[in-house]
Chain A
Amino acid sequence: MTTTTVLVVDDEKNIRLTLTQALETLGVRVETAVNGEEALQKLEHSPYALMLLDLKMPGMNGLEVLRRMRELRAGVRVIIITAYGTIESAVEAMKLGAVDFIQKPFTPKEIRELVQTVLQRGELSADATDYSTVIELCKRSINEGDFTAALLAAHRAVSLEPSSAEAFNLLGALLEIDGKMDEAIRFYRTAVSLDESYAPAMANLERATTIGRDGAISLDGI
């Protein structure tokens, strides 16, 4: 991973600093941007393996950066930074290929673990049969915008581990993206019944069953 470059996009100096410090020990090169505009400029001129992106920034918000980045350059993996207490009801972000979230405050260890998982996802063998690899393959397909493959992998994950709330929630979100809202809600419900403390499924169920059903990610703390 010696030549891997990571871009950290956050308006808060302390977050940029914490992430940079934590990631440098992994041996990756870290560059930073203080807002969406600067991030897009950097993305236009240099290749990055991964971007850590804050959703809530003054000016251009994280989702808009994600949207424009997809037009500019595919293949950059994204980890979304969310605020305290915000729940990753992130179907909108998922549509744009972002499926990994880290909630503030974060420990250096969890940042490093997540970054390594996301970076190593590219090297996974597609014929894996164990649950955790299948989940990672599903996320990789989402990163690459291949929702058909992601849906297949999510179905496989559910059959491999029928008690996993994460797998059911992921399947629900992919069905929602596919426009099958009623099926999606059923899977969100299953996820919640399997694990009532699994916040992403709770947030998805709440949003999906609320009038309006706009599927938009909540940018405010819940």
Chain B
Amino acid sequence: MTDPLRREFGSRAKDPVLRRNLLRATDTSNAHRAAAAAERADWEELRSRGAAIRDHTLARLDDYLAEFIRSVEARGGRVHAARDAPAARRIVTGIARRKGATRILKSKSMATEEVELNRAFERLGFEPLETDLGEYIVQLAGEAPSHITAPALHRSAEEIRDLFLARGVLPPGDRPPADRAGLARWLSLAARRHLAPRLREADLGITGANFLVAETGTVVLVENEGNIRFTTTTPPAQVVLAGVEKIVPRLADLAVLLPLLVRSATGQRFPGTVSLISGPVSESLDIVLLDNRRTAALADPGDREILRCIRCGACLNVCPVYRTAGGHAWGSPYPGPIGSLLTPLLSTRDADRALPHASSLCGACSEVCPVRIPIVDHLLRLRARAAAAGSPASPGPLAIRVFSYLARDPRRYERATWLLRRFWGIALRAGLMKRWTRYRDAPSPAARTFRELWRDDGPPAR
């Protein structure tokens, strides 16, 4: 890992409250996911089907995108292409301005996080209301979401209680119960009451999309809280921002992809609510298709495989690095193992190319991925790509060059091992090895080398 990366992950790993919150939440999610996967006898076959549908679609995305656009336009909806994040912000805020919209409802969407849509709105003087409870919590706290499907997973109920008291979601003097489950319930219901009037009067609704169906121009939205239904039915105008890779060919494909998504994300048999929206069902529908380097990723068969991702978040929950440092360490809307792959593909920041190093390569992510993305293989591939591009600086190659120089000559090698044994203890005591020994042992070299043993004692007895 590079130094900035080490700081981001290292400092968070030392926060005991964060650590406890992360373990509690991800342990629960992992147990639910495992039970939901075990319950379906055809789970492995379903994963293969899901992977095949995604592969097929991505390889023919030109045809399916064209079909999707035709289908939406035939129903009276408008489709826009956003080449990058600034273009996406310009298009969406432009629509809001033309509609004269000031009361904006927003549902949780990774694409809107990716383009930092809310900041663009704040610069114009209004704040879209995040209607998903977890997203509302991080919005109140002025934070970024730390998980793809559970944005406030890094916060304890006590922290959220203090936030709600400070921001007036709980009336002053309110005395919520102290036990964890009772408190979580109290806070969730307080947010429901607080937001109810605002959900029933609005000018514009902005959502992402879980899937976009080519044959029918359908926007598919998955949720549990009912907030997406408010976002898509209260305001007269609806805007959808989604990555171009969200396309699936037919409605029938949802019979494979929805169970994969929801069982992996929350362990439910079916989501609380799924909405299928074909064309403008209120006054207007604008769908903004986000490229932001996705088409460049399509050109490489390996990178294309990463775009299979259906954003369930299962790989985050099982990842030991995520469970230790939390999602904010990635500094990207896409954290965790899949974030270490997606972020370098979608971002232009140099530092993000080091993210594939934020992994122990244990392979838990590849095992749970519902669309069988071989995440570990791609982490290694992107590491190699970053190394070939000369960034980030890694001590590995230099160490190998030094070793190879010493090992090529027996006398040189002997002298080096003598020096090493001589000064090893001094180096350790002087703290020169601190960056290594902070997390690992530094075993002392043997008192006598193999060559000395051979020379002095002769060959070992049979």
- Asked if A and B are interacting partners, one says no
Which residues in A have some Cβ–Cβ distance to B below 8 Å? none
